[in-house]
Amino acid sequence: MAGADQTNIADDMGEVRTNALSGAASAYLRSAMHQPVEWMEWGEAVFDRAAREDKPILLDIGAVWCHWCHVMDRESYEDPATAEIINEHFVAVKVDRDERPDVDTRYQSAISAISGQGGWPLTAFLTPEGKPYFGGTYFPPDDRHGRPSFQRVLLTMADAFANRRAEVDESAAGVMKAIEQNESFSGRAANPGPELVEKMVLSVLKSADLRHGGFGGQPKFPHSSAVDLLIDVASRGGTMMVKLNGQGTVTVAEAARETVLQTLGKMAKGGIYDHLAGGFHRYSVDEHWVVPHFEKMAYDNSELLKNYVHAYQAFGNEEFAQVAREIVAWMDEWLSDRERGGFYASQDADFSPDDDGDYFTWTRDEAVEVLTPEELGVASAYYDIGEIGDMQHNVAKNVLHVKHGLDAIARKAVISAEEAHSLLESAKRKLYAARLRRPTPFVDKTIYVAWNAMCISAYLAAGRVLDAPAAKAFALKSLDRVLAEARNARGDLAHVAAYGEPEEAGSSASLHPSEQRPLAGDPGLRNDKQKVAGVLDDYVFLGHAALDAWEATGELHYYEAAEDLTESALRRFYDPAGGAFFDTENPAAGERRLGVLGARRKPLQDSPTPAGNPMAAALLMRVGELNGRLDYAEKAQETLETFAGVVEHFGLYAATYALALQRLVREPVQVCVVGEDAGARALEAAALARYAVNQSVVRFGRVQAGSLPPVLETTLPRLPRVQGSFAVLCSGHTCQPPVKTPEELTALLQRSL
Task: Supply the DSSP symbol for 595.
Answer: T
Phi, psi of 626 (to 5 degrees): -105, -30
Helix, strand, or coil here: 204?
Answer: helix
pLDDT at 710 (0 to 100): 94
pLDDT mean for each 10 residues of the chain (753 residues): 33 69 94 97 97 98 93 96 98 98 94 88 97 94 88 97 95 84 71 96 95 94 97 89 78 96 98 98 96 96 98 97 98 98 95 83 97 97 95 92 95 96 98 96 97 98 98 98 95 94 50 49 41 95 98 97 98 95 90 90 94 98 96 97 95 97 96 95 96 97 88 84 90 88 96 89
pLDDT at 183 (0 to 100): 54
Assess contact for 33 and 22: CB atoms under 8 A: yes
- 427-471 pLDDT per residue, tens: 999 999 999 999 999 999 999 999 999 999 999 999 999 999 999
pLDDT at 147 (0 to 100): 82
Task: Compute CA distances 511 → 26, 437, 441, 442, 741, whole Å.
Answer: 18, 10, 8, 8, 51
Pairing of strands 40-41, 9-11: unpaired
Q: Which domains does the chain have, with CATH numbers?
A: 35-183 (3.40.30.10), 366-436 (no CATH), 667-753 (3.40.30)
Q: Count CB-CB contacts under 10 A for residue 717.
A: 13
pLDDT at 520 (0 to 100): 29
Hey, which bits of 199-263 come out as E strands?
Answer: 241-244, 248-251
Contacts of 618-621 spanning 24+ positions with Cβ under 8 A: 618/544, 618/659, 618/660, 618/663, 619/540, 619/543, 619/544, 619/547, 619/562, 619/566, 619/569, 620/566, 620/570, 621/660, 621/663, 621/664, 621/668
pLDDT at 703 (0 to 100): 86
Radius of gyration of the chain (CA): 27
pLDDT at 10 (0 to 100): 39
Whole-angstrom distance, CA of residue 91 vs CA of residue 157 = 13
- 289-339 pLDDT per residue, tens: 999 999 999 999 999 999 999 999 999 999 999 999 999 999 999 999 999
Residue 324: in which H helix or E strand, if any? helix 318-334
Task: Supply the DSSP symbol for 652.
Answer: G
Q: Count CB-CB contacts under 10 A for residue 491.
A: 13
Phi, psi of 581 (to 5 degrees): -115, 140
pLDDT at 185 (0 to 100): 57
Assess contact for 505 and 28: CB atoms under 8 A: yes
For residue 219, whether the previous peptide bond is cis, meaning omega lies within 30 degrees of 0, is yes
Hey, which bits of 324-469 come out as E strands?
Answer: 346-347, 443-444, 447-448
Whole-angstrom distance, CA of residue 691 vs CA of residue 664 = 16
Assess contact for 724 and 698: CB atoms under 8 A: no
Whole-angstrom distance, CA of residue 219 vs CA of residue 387 = 25
pLDDT at 510 (0 to 100): 54
Name the residue among 509, 439, 507 with its Cα closest to residue 78. 507
Please give the torsion angle defined by the CA atoms of residues 74, 80, 82 and 86, in that order, rounded to the nearest 10 degrees.
110
Whole-angstrom distance, CA of residue 374 vs CA of residue 420 = 9
Angle at 565 between CA 526 and CA 647, to 5 degrees: 105
- For 502-552, the DSSP string reads ---TTTS-B--GGG----SS-HHHHHHH--PBP-HHHHHHHHHHHHHHHHH
The side-by-side arrangement of strands in the sheet containing 726-731 is: 695-700, 669-674, 726-731, 734-735
pLDDT at 719 (0 to 100): 77
